[in-house]
Amino acid sequence: MSKGLAQIMKQAQQMQQKMARLQEEASQRTAEASVGGGAVTAVVNGKNQVMSLSIRKEAVDPEDVEMLQDLVVAAVNEALKKVQSEVSAEMERITGGLNIPGLF
């Protein structure tokens, strides 16, 4: 094996190890988002799982269930966007901006 190819293989292995570590760290990372003036708060993790959802009493109006549903969706989506952005930024830092499909 040529010296150049050996170096490329070593770098690829190091990147693979860093990415595996990032995936593990991503599962531990959380993001929180509140909407409706804090009426609904969602916390998600880096695996895109909802960890908690808080709804203040004053947000519950039996006459306007649709508003509460919209707030829940907005809070979860905003939290997911935050955590995905954080994970993507870390991935870009590790890969040097290489676009590797299917990682996250």
pLDDT above 70 (res 97): no
Q: Is residue 101 very low, low, confident or very high in pLDDT (cuts 50, 70, 90)?
A: low
Cβ atoms < 10 Å from Cβ of 92: 12
**Domains assigned to the chain:** 3-94 (3.30.1310.10)
Looking at residue 100, its pLDDT comes to 58
Terminal C-alpha separation, the chain: 33
Query: Residues 21-68: pLDDT tens digits?
Result: 877 887 889 999 999 999 999 999 998 999 999 999 999 999 999 999
Looking at residue 44, its pLDDT comes to 97
Looking at residue 55, its pLDDT comes to 98
Query: Residues 57-66: pLDDT tens digits?
Result: 999 999 999 9
Query: Residues 79-90: pLDDT tens digits?
Result: 999 999 998 888
Query: Residues 68-81: pLDDT tens digits?
Result: 999 999 999 999 99
Distances (CA, A) of 6 to 1, 10, 14: 6, 6, 12
- Residues 95, 52: Cα–Cα separation, whole Å: 31
pTM, full prediction: 0.74
One-letter identity of residue 52: S
The answer to whether 24 and 10 are in contact (CB under 8 A) is no
Q: What is the DSSP letter of 53?
A: E
- Residues 62, 64: Cα–Cα separation, whole Å: 6
